[in-house]
Amino acid sequence: MKVNIYYGGRGLIDDPTLYVLSIMQQVLEELNVKVERFDLHELRSRITSLPQTLKTADGIILASTVEWYGVGGYMQSFLDACWLYGDKEKISSLYMCPVVMSTTYGEREGKLDLAVAWEILGGRPCSGICGYVKEMPQFENNEEYRYMIEKKTENLYRSIQQKVATFPTSNQEISRVVAVQKNTDLTPQENEQLSKYASDESYVQKQKEDIQELASYFKEMLESENNPSGNEYIEDFKSGFKPQAGSKATYKFNIEGKKKPFIILVEEDELDVSYGKEVSADVEIQTPSDIMNEIVSGRMTFQRAFMAGNIKMKGDFKLLRLLDQIFNFGEAN
């Protein structure tokens, strides 16, 4: 026999629920029951995959602590995952013992919430444990409390061992008739795989990167459709070219919004302008597209744009000044 414990508290040292669970685990192990505990606060990044662990259990304990209101977010997240990804056929045969201790008001309501939730999931709730603890030392040293916890644990063991029958409840009928899940056309195996992927942060990150790559690809395609010749700025530089004797330089422009670099090769009266050639450039310039538009329209010079901090460059500053000499885009304002 195997019993899984799902603890939804925060793991505080003075948490009374942890004391109750330690006694229950000790009793179950004395009865030769294999016990496995899952601390949800430590496993929060993969809570969606935890319903898979129900498949190897004969019974479970859902334990939480009411610190201010309700059974807490970790336990609620686990129950949500059971509803979305859990094997309902397996859950229908699982006995569940709710354990809710409180350091404030609301332990009875918390215990009832867990029982109702398990019934709606189709499972079989057992008589659980709930209580209010004001001072931990008094609670731990009370032998009567310990005896009551041991007896409740033995009752859970007998319920699982003897497969005690339970009366049907309206909550279970609601889950069958009213709260019908949307049909996702997924097999139980596919649902199980989905829960693994949902809890795998590296997989989710890879999916985000793939989506960004696709978005960039389609953006580039759209730009190509809007500019089929792919020659933006090329004709501007060719028409504005004014050869200078002795001029020789290679310029590489990284223009904002352009995936490929804009390359200019100048050697006296020869000019080669294109996109996408990866070359070793004498000057590398990074510029927003709107500044590039200002320059080719004659309203700005390369040198003024650099001095104003609108463009960034690496390389020989003399060759930057040369750009304004060999390309005449009109009189700048």
Domains of the chain (ranges, CATH numbers): 2-198 (3.40.50.360), 234-326 (3.30.1050.10)
> Position 83: which residue type?
W
CA 174 – CA 35 distance, rounded (Å): 32
Most confident range, picked from 163-172, 193-202, 251-260: 251-260
Q: What's 72's DSSP letter?
A: -
User: Is residue 317 pLDDT above 60, yes or no?
Assistant: yes
Question: In whole angstroms, how far apart are CA 132 and each of 141, 142, 167?
Answer: 15, 14, 29
Which tops the pLDDT comparison, 315 or 34? 34
Look at residues 138, 140, 158 and name the one whose alpha carbon lies nearest to residue 59: 158
**Residue 191: per-residue pLDDT:** 61
Residue pair 234/273 in contact (Cβ under 8 Å)? The answer is: yes
Least confident of 14-23, 153-162, 317-326: 317-326
Residue 134 has pLDDT above 70, yes or no: yes
> Poorest-confidence range of 70-74, 125-129, 278-282, 318-322?
278-282
| Count of Cβ atoms closer than 10 Å to residue 299 Cβ | 14
Could you tell me which residue, 60 or 211, shows the higher pLDDT? 60
CB 250 within 8 Å of CB 264:
yes
Q: Burial, 261: exposed, middle or buried (Cβ in 10 Å; 0-12, 13-18, 19+)?
A: buried
Q: Determine the average pLDDT of the residues in 105-122.
A: 94
Average pLDDT over residues 252-261: 86
What is residue 165's predicted lDDT score, i.e. its pLDDT? 83
Q: Say what the pLDDT of residue 333 is.
A: 42
Q: Give the chain's mean pLDDT.
A: 86
The pLDDT, as a whole number, for residue 156 is 95
Residue 167 has pLDDT above 60, yes or no: yes
The span from the CA of 88 to the CA of 320, in Å, is 71
Cβ neighbour number for residue 108 with a 10 Å cutoff: 14
Q: What is the pLDDT of residues 175-223, one digit of tens each?
A: 666 555 554 555 555 665 666 565 566 767 777 888 887 877 676 666 5
Query: Cβ(37)–Cβ(94) under 8 Å?
Result: no
pLDDT at 10: 92
pLDDT value at residue 321: 85
Q: Which of 165, 158, 166 is nearest to 1 (CA)?
A: 158
pLDDT, tens digit, for every residue of 7-59? 999 999 899 999 999 999 999 999 999 999 999 999 988 999 999 999 999 99
The pLDDT score that the predictor gives to residue 27 is 96
pTM: 0.56
**pLDDT of amino acid 38:** 96
Element (H, E) at 208: helix 201-226
Three-class secondary structure assignment of 212-268: HHHHHHHHHHHHHHHCCCCCCCHHHHHHCECCCCCCEEEEEEEECCCCCCEEEEEEC
> 214 vs 70, 141, 224, 276, CA distance in Å?
43, 63, 15, 20
Rounded mean pLDDT, 259-285: 86
pLDDT, tens digit (0-9, with 9 covering 90-100), for 62-98? 999 999 989 999 999 999 999 999 998 999 999 999 9
Write a three-state SS string for 103-159.
Answer: CCCCHHHHHHHHHHHHHHCCCEECCCEEEECCCHHHHHCCHHHHHHHHHHHHHHHHH
List pLDDT tens digits, range 213-250. 787 767 666 655 555 445 778 888 888 898 888 888 99
> What does the pLDDT average to over 128-150?
94
Percent of the chain with pLDDT over 70: 84
Torsion of CA 173, 176, 178, 182, to 10 degrees: 160
Q: What is the DSSP annotation of 267-284?
A: ETTEEEEEES-----SEE
Residues 6+ apart with CB under 8 A from 135: none
Residue range 129-152: mean pLDDT, rounded: 94
